[in-house]
Amino acid sequence: MKHVLQLKKRILLPTASLSKDSILEIVSYLLTGGATTLINYMIYLSLLHLKADYLAANTVAWVFAAAFAYVSNRTFVFRSRNRVGKELFSFVSLRFLTLLMENALLILLVQYCQFHPAASKIAVSFVTVAANYVICKCQIFRKPSGYLHADSEKNHAAARAQIFQKEELQ
Rounded to two decimals, the pTM is 0.67
- Residue 43 located in a structural domain: yes
Q: What's the pLDDT at 148?
A: 47
Helices and strands in the chain: count of H runs, count of E runs: 5, 2
Residue 2 lies in a domain: no
**pLDDT per position as a tens digit, 124-168:** 988 887 877 777 666 665 555 554 444 444 544 554 455 445 445
Domain that holds residue 123: 18-143
Q: How many structural domains does the chain have?
A: 1
Q: Contact, 50 vs 56, CB < 8 A?
A: no
Q: For residue 11, what are the β-bridge partners?
A: 7
Position 111 in a domain:
yes
Residue 110 lies in a domain: yes
